[in-house]
Amino acid sequence: MNRFYRVVFLLAGALQLAAPLCAQPSDPRALTHREDPKMQAFVDELMGRMTLEEKIGQLNLLAVGFDVTGPVVSKDVDANIRRGNVGGVFNTYTPAAARQLQEQALKATRLKIPLLLGFDVVHGHRTMFPMPLGLAATWDMQAVEQSARIAAEEASADGLHWVFSPMVDIARDPRWGRVVEGAGEDPYLGSCVAAAMVRGYQGPDNDLAQPNTVMACVKHFALYGAAEAGRDYNTVDMSRQRMYNEYLPPYKAAIEAGAGSVMSSFNDINGIPATANRWLLTDLLRRQWSFRGFVATDYNAVNELTAHGLGDEQRAATLALRAGVDMDMVGEAFLKYLADNLKKGLVSPAEIDQACRRMLEAKYRLGLFRDPYRGISDKRAHQTMGRPEFVAASRDIARRSLVLLKNERQTLPLRKAGTIALIGPLARSQRDMLGSWKAAGDWQQAVSLEQGLRNVAGSAVKLMYAQGANLTADRRLFDQLNAGGELTFDVRPAEELIREAVQVASQADVIVAAVGESAGMTGEATSRADIGLPGRQLALLKALKATGKPLVLVLMNGRPLTLTWEDENADAILETWFAGSQGGNAIADVLFGAYNPAGKITMTFPRVLGQVPIYYSHKNTGRPALGDQNDKYKSSYLDVPNAPLYPFGFGLSYTTFTYGKPTLSKATIGPAETLTVTVTVQNTGNADGEEVAQLYLRDLVGSISRPVKELKGFQKVLLKRGERKTLTFRLSVDDLKFYNDDLQFVAEPGAFQVFVGGNSRDVQAADFTLE
Ligand code: NOJ
């Protein structure tokens, strides 16, 4: 690493925020919110002067420009703003664009209420970080928070007030393309990540009046990740027990961290679409969780209640408002129908007032009534975007997100010598490195894998390249997914591409194959019914394997893939997700050993699709399979084992770690006591490295059946070669609590097991009892 980068890395380290320890998901005690009498008085006074039309205008959110993610677009945005018909706008940024929009609201409308400006800032704004599934794989809450903090600095300097993030949907079905946008399958880790993101966006003091903050929007409320068969927008049907224990905790954690807004999801929940679901948006969110911010719908979701079968758009507007929606995204059903619905007595003045009040409070909290521009200027934007320490943080965090899935005979790290055959359709892609929702990220500034290898290895290594395969064999799909991208479809016969790659590979010392999915194959509306490597990529790998050269896979993808052949045949596999602006450099740092990988997967990788949904915290069943496959009359398959290919929490390092048996401070604890779990971890290999020690719990006897393991704590530690550390975890009775059949949050006396290890499978156990 050259001196410049070393300095910048140090600066990036200094920018890290005070250690945000991940709090345990808490009990459902009502939250106390600070009342703000000044805000109340201000909003009362303003609303006292507003007409009905002006109030309804505040509930309307329009989209401008590009990135249309639904069947409709907003028309006449400027004219509507001037007529006072708009509360907020999304999909545009830059100080000039923000100023131009805001000026229209301020100059042309009677009450000069500023607009709320939003955008899908999901994993960075200009400086892009790894996709959220990769961010979670860092198990590093400081890194997660830092990525959101930097995104907030850039987004706010670009005129934005509001970001559609964090996406906290628990996801256990990799067919669903949106798994890449969240933190994976686990409620505990998901809650930690959700809270860290909110802190990053809204600032460490949660003071949105600071102009370098943005308001978070927790999405998609709720249970969107449980869409049947992994098909996007599909039905969700789920017991309340499962909701409360497994799917709701991350939303709640984000709200407890102070998130100012919530986005309702597209799916229905037990028959009632989220956007019309009063139990969800009012009873649970506001009454049980005491949420005080505002609820926006997802794109056109009010109008889509019609397709859900709930009646025409006029009725949909009533249902959504009465359920607890405050802001209508794009569909304009509130704008069109609420006044008439009021006349007809279908909604009340109080319901409209309440939604309007919440929108005005959000604007007040953001300081928009004091300074509608929140201090934007070209100078500030220029000084903020892509600062060297942001870029360094992006590289650092990207390195932390990479997961080493296999490494035989120390194939990795690579030596900086000899010839590398760089093969594969993703080897040169800059655009895919950014992933989906690239916000204002400029793909032309993203570092591809090839560029990264050159940057890190310089002339010490000879690099030879061949594409080897197209990302997909389906030309039409390729064009659709690569729209506006820089990839080209090689029209030569697939066999010819493979032959060329083999010829290149046979001249090299080692093959680095960059394979996986394009960014466009992941994210919204990208469900896949087959989660193997798309197109002819597996055929390419088989041909490369036949050369007998060491084969290193660099995977770029947004979901767990089925990798059985790859796992059996590759010498090394590095999972890199979509690693962001500095992706190529970060991957090269790991491949050449400048950084020892420490990421761990946060979604289980199945062996075959038929195992899906698959997750580590499953129930035991009445007939648990103890042995391998086809355990007759046990809960198993005839044709595959139950065990996944890579378990939740799994990831290798260039060194090895050995765990001692966990020891407990007591064999029995009372309801007011704390249990201390200590475990020694030793670095038993030949390199310094970081390890994520994970603590799981099993409640052996309960009033309802409980998962075989649940994550309840983790620590990421740096251990020098040969070093041993004793780690201490503390468990209180709150950690033993769960929602029982009456949805009471309780800890039940009886036997428990605690497990500690480096992933959810390879653990050692100890027993205790709760009195
Ligand atoms: C639809 C997506 O579901 C949501 O995540 C996104 O924030 C909105 N569109 C706005 O782009």
| 119-173: pLDDT as tens digits | 999 999 999 999 999 999 999 999 999 999 999 999 999 999 999 999 999 999 9
Rounded percentage of the chain residues whose pLDDT exceeds 90: 91
Alpha-carbon distance of 233 to 241, in angstroms, equals 22
Among candidate residues 730, 722, 720, 718, the one with its CA nearest the CA of residue 679: 730
- Ligand 1 pocket (Cβ < 6 Å) reads 69, 120, 164, 219, 298-299, 524
661 vs 29, which has greater pLDDT? 661
Give 496: exposed, middle or buried? Use CB within 10 Å, 0-12, 13-18, 19+.
exposed
Half-sphere exposure of 299 (CA within 13 A, CB side): 18
pLDDT band at 627 (very low <50, low <70, confident <90, very high): confident
- Over pLDDT 70: what percentage of the chain? 94
Asked whether the predicted pLDDT for residue 1 surpasses 80, the reply is no
- Note if 298 is an active site residue: yes
What pLDDT score does 27 carry? 36
130-168 residues labelled b (16+ CB within 10 A) or e (exposed): bbbbbbbbbbbbbbbbbbbbbbbbbbbbbbbbbbbbbbb
pLDDT reported for residue 30: 33
Question: How much is the pLDDT for 22?
Answer: 65
Burial 47-58 (b: 16+ CB within 10 A, else e): beebeeebbbbb
Give the lowest-confidence range in 11-25, 322-336, 567-581, 709-723. Answer: 11-25
Q: What pLDDT shows up at residue 17? A: 36
For the residues 515-536, what does the mean pLDDT come to?
Answer: 96
Residue 2 has pLDDT above 50, yes or no: no
Confidence check: pLDDT of 32 > 50: no
> Which of 66, 176, 219 gets mutated to test ligand 1 (max ligand atoms within 8 A of its CB)?
219
| Nearest protein Cα to ligand 1, atom 7 | 164
Distance 550 CA to ligand 1 centre (A): 42
Mean pLDDT check: name the lowest of 374-378, 631-635, 719-723, 727-731. Answer: 631-635
Closest atom of ligand 1 to 219 CA is 5
pLDDT at residue 521 in the model: 94
**DSSP letters for 202-233:** HTTTT-TTSTT--EEEEEEETTGGG-GGG-TT
Radius of gyration for the chain, computed over Cα atoms and rounded to the nearest angstrom: 26
Of the residues 298, 326, 432, 699, which is catalytic? 298
Average pLDDT over residues 405-417: 97
pLDDT for 5 beyond 80: no
Q: What is the mean pLDDT of residues 484-508?
A: 92
> Which ligand 1 atom sits nearest the alpha carbon of residue 266?
3
Give the whole-angstrom CA distance, residue 243 versus residue 246: 6
pLDDT at 592 over 60: yes
Ligand 1 centroid to Cα of residue 273, in Å, is 16
As a whole number, mean pLDDT of residues 445-457 equals 98
pLDDT for the residue numbered 601:
99
3-state secondary structure (DSSP) of residue 657: strand
Mean pLDDT, range 470-487, rounded to an integer: 80
Residues 64-109 pLDDT 10s = 975 566 778 899 999 999 999 999 999 999 999 999 999 999 999 9
Identify the residue whose tokens are 């979604």. 603
pLDDT value for 478: 85
Hey, whose CA ends up nearest to atom 1 of ligand 1? 299
Nearest atom, ligand 1, residue 67 CA = 11
Positive/negative CA dihedral, 617, 620, 624, 626: positive
In the predicted model, is pLDDT for residue 206 greater than 60? yes
